[in-house]
Amino acid sequence: MGREKPAIAYKKAIQSILQQGGIIRTAAAINAGIHPRTLYELRDSGTLEQISRGVYRLADLPPLSEPDVVTIATRVPRAVICLISALSFHDLTTQVPHWVYIALEKGAETPRIDYPPIKVHRFSESTFSSGIIELEIDGVKVRVYNPEKTLADCFKFRNTIGMDVVLEALKFYRERGPGNWDTVLHYARVCRVEQIMRPYLEMLL
């Protein structure tokens, strides 16, 4: 059986990609019945833009608000945005992340991603699954830790990201409003850093 006429194939492919929110991975495209050649021809014609290896997006859609985060969420749906990237997401830092910081469970395969650059941090099953919020950004489901869990994670990885970053995040969290300090302590216990965090929290309260 021959391949469909290009115009028909292109139309079907675009409709299928739109149903995926305008972004699609090569594997998902093939599963949806899009011929690889059709995908590449749409890319070469400028109808699709390649935002990462194996990830394509309809070019006439509005610009992505969080292109790096959306790309990672598309390529590694299991990952959770964490640490400095999560602080930035929640406006709790002045740092500009040079990587997308993601959490994965211990034992999970390390993603092979050339762009955007990532830093992978391994979490135990209990710390990995706690405090996740799911948001839709540019039509893509993104998993990120909530502010309180992020503060606890930052204390846990304070030697990696720097204590100055951690203390700045605490200051911004306090200045934002009353804050949910009981929840912060809950996640501190989950992350086993309660004894380390508590003196800093007591100074703030």
CB atoms within 10 A of CB 33: 12
Residue 119: strand pairing partners:
101
Return the half-sphere exposure (C-beta side, CA atoms, 13 A cut-off) of residue 121: 23
pLDDT by residue (tens digit) across 107-155?
A: 898 888 888 899 999 999 999 999 999 999 888 899 999 999 999 999 9
Average pLDDT, the chain: 90
pLDDT by residue (tens digit) across 165-192?
A: 999 999 999 998 878 999 999 999 999 9
Q: Residue ranges of the domains in the chain?
A: 6-58, 67-204
**pLDDT value at residue 3:** 53
Structure-model confidence comparison of residues 155 and 28, the more confident one:
155
The reply to whether CATH 1.10.10 applies to domain 6-58 is yes
Q: Give the residue-averaged pLDDT of 76-104.
A: 94
**pLDDT value at residue 100:** 95
Taking the model in full, what pTM does it have?
Answer: 0.77
pLDDT > 70: percent of the chain: 97
